Amino acid sequence: MQIKVDGYNINYKITGEGEKTVVMLQGWGTTMDMYDSVAAAIFDRCRFIQLDLPGFGGSDEPREPWSVSDFSDFFCKFLEALGVDRTSLIGHSYGGRMIIDLATREHIPFEIEKIVLIDSAGIMPKRSAKQKARIRMYKMIKKIADMDLVYKLFPELIDEWRSRQGSADYRAASPMMRQCLVRAVNEDMTDRLPRIGQEVLLIWGDADTATPISDAKTMEQLIPNAGLCVLEGCGHYSYLEQPAVFANIMRSYF
């Protein structure tokens, strides 16, 4: 299905029925269909909503670089358009960032019941001296590469260098979404965790390299009412790597 929200065409779907509503907030660069197995675990006991955020899947791209807060603002308008005033939230990776933002605002136009964070982003990793030196070198080279004269002299060399920079998510993103991603990864949400008032279930793969298990332990320690379930041998998409175990956890929680 598609709905127009604030001038954006947004892909979404609803499965299941019931008094309770659960909304899935996706990870960066994913489509809503990648969370069908999450819906299948619990849609027999709730109304489960999935959507492609602006710039994700088949939904319209933001017209300007958005921060996490901007995506959260849009999500509030999306729920209002669907008439949702009370829901539980599940967030994978980037979706977790949005939930942390929403749950720690002074006011939002809907009530959050329960929260599930799956391999969530939001904690900025500490950079080693070697990483800091690499960043300084990158910025210096980028400054030179961005000069018109230098690009005219060495266009193929500079294009090849640019194609190798950044994470896989960054390289796969459009120019507009790259700007959104940069704004997200440079925002550390650690200090907001103690202000989350809802019950929070953390589900994490212990082999996750994108958002390491140390992030999960930090969240468990700082969020007042949080519990951690670790899926052994799983990476950043733990819910897909052990679907049966994940489904059992979700059914027990909901």
Residues 56 and 99 in one domain: yes
* Both tokens assigned to 157: 């060399």
For 147, the domain range is 129-175
Alpha helix positions (H), the chain:
36-42, 68-82, 94-103, 129-145, 148-153, 155-163, 168-172, 175-185, 213-222, 238-241, 243-253
How confident is the model over 109-123, as pLDDT tens digits?
A: 999 999 999 999 999
Q: DSSP class of residue 189?
A: -
pLDDT at site 206: 97
- Could you give the percent of the chain with pLDDT greater than 90? 77
Per-residue pLDDT, 157 = 61
- Residue 182 within any structural domain of the chain: no
107 shares a domain with 140: no
- 191-229 pLDDT, tens digit each: 999 999 999 999 999 999 999 999 999 999 999 999 999
pLDDT in tens, 92-112: 999 999 999 999 999 999 999
Q: Comparing C-alpha atoms, which of 131, 125, 93 is closest to residue 239? A: 93
Q: 199 and 140 share a domain?
A: no
Same domain, 46 and 162: no
pTM for this one? 0.86
